[in-house]
Structure 1
Amino acid sequence: MPQIITRRAGRRGPRRFTPRDLAVLGVLLGIPVLLEIGLIWGPTVASVGLSFTSWDGVGSIHWVGTRNYHDLFTNYPPFWRAARNNLLWLGFLGLIATPFGLLLAVLLDKNIRFSRFYQSTLYMPVVLSLAVVGFIAQLVFSRDQGALNAVLANTDNPTDWLGDPSLNIWAILLAAAWRHTGYVMILFLAGLKSVDPALKEAAAIDGASEVQAFFRVVLPALRPVNVIVVVITVIEALRAFDIVYAVNHGRNGLELLSVLVTDNIIGEASRIGFGSAIAVVLLTISLGFIVTYLVQEMREERKS
Structure 2
Amino acid sequence: MTVDRHLPAAEVLRSHLAGNFATLGEQEALVRSGDASAIHKMRIAARRLRTPLQTGQPLLVVPTDALVDELRWLGRELGGARDAQVLRERLRHLLSTQPPELVMGSVDVLVDDELCAAEQRGRAQAIEALGGTRYARLVDGLDRLVRDLPATEEADGPADEVLPRLVRRELKRLRRAVGIAEQADAGEANDVALHVARKKAKRLRYAAEMVVPALGRPAEELAASAKGVQQALGEHQDTVMSRRFLRELGARAHLDGMNGFTLGRLHAIEEARAAAAVADFERAWGELKDKTVRTRRGG
TM superposition score normalised by structure 1 = 0.32
Select the structure of larger CA radius of gyration: 1
TM (normalized to structure 2)?
0.32
* Bigger fraction of residues in helix: 2
